[in-house]
Amino acid sequence: MSERKEITVRAKAREGRGKNDSRRARANGLVPVTVYGGDAEAVTAIAEIKDLAAILRSDTGQNTIFTIDIEGVGASEVMFHDRQIDPVRGRLLHADLKRLVKGQKIEVTVPLHLTGTPIGVSEAGGHLEQLLREIEIRCEPRDIPEAINVDVSDLKVHDVLHISDIPVDEGIEILDSPETAIATVGVVREEPVEAPAPAEGEAAEPEVIGKGKKEEEEGETEGK
């Protein structure tokens, strides 16, 4: 697991809570956030949109652990729990941040990456099909992986890989059903090749079967 970069977001306690206050905050490059969980009370604040947007765009995305330092309140280690996005502009409108408690496990969704080239592809000409791209896990916040990597090199044609086949580090529990299929190697079916149609304006020449009796008689008369 790669070393995590320490990230701190500065924020200020939010005074106004109306729609107009939120609109003015966004116009100034700020976004309302709610911080809750742990042993402390919920706090509403405003933070820089660019800081939170940069976290969401990172490799770890919404699973990024960072510190939010609210002026006059203090610092808390948090993760995104929920967020509201403008469907037209794609901008962050509001974020719910959950405080993290050491030793307390949380449930998150992480990407599922397939690695290697299956035998069924390299030797039998099959094709790899990924059936599941994310999985649900439970672990302590500091143990959250950027992704779960699964080696599919040994898969043959018609083999199926299931959740139960995924190796995970100690302390990580997969919540999806063990019988859930995540990948398989299928057979590439060749489509029948159709004969090309004649070009526009071209007519097929009629096949000559043989001369009729009348034509043969006329030919003999002309030859005399």
112 or 207: which carries more pLDDT confidence? 112
User: Which backbone phi and psi does 214 adopt, to 5 degrees?
Assistant: -65, -40
**Ranges of each domain in the chain:** 8-101, 107-186
54-67 per-residue burial string, b: 16 or more CB within 10 A, e: under 16: ebeeeebeebbbbe
Tokens standing for 47?
Answer: 């933070």
In the chain, the percentage of residues whose pLDDT exceeds 90 is 67
Measuring CA to CA, how many Å separate 126 from each of 45, 93, 112, 122, 188? 54, 46, 21, 8, 6
100: nearest Cα among 76, 82, 83, 81: 76
Superfamily grouping for domain 107-186: Ribosomal protein L25, C-terminal domain (2.170.120.20)
Determine the residue type at 64: T
The span from the CA of 215 to the CA of 72, in Å, is 113
Task: Report residue 209's pLDDT band, with 50, 70 and 90 as the boundaries.
Answer: low
Task: Report residue 14's pLDDT band, with 50, 70 and 90 as the boundaries.
Answer: confident
Entry pTM: 0.72
- pLDDT tens-digit series, residues 120-167: 999 999 999 999 999 999 999 989 999 999 999 999 999 999 999 999
The span from the CA of 136 to the CA of 168, in Å, is 12
Superfamily grouping for domain 8-101: Ribosomal Protein L25; Chain P (2.40.240.10)
Query: Taking all residues of the chain, what is their mean pLDDT, rounded to a whole number?
Result: 87
Task: Report residue 202's pLDDT band, with 50, 70 and 90 as the boundaries.
Answer: low
Please report the pLDDT score of residue 201 as a whole number. Answer: 57
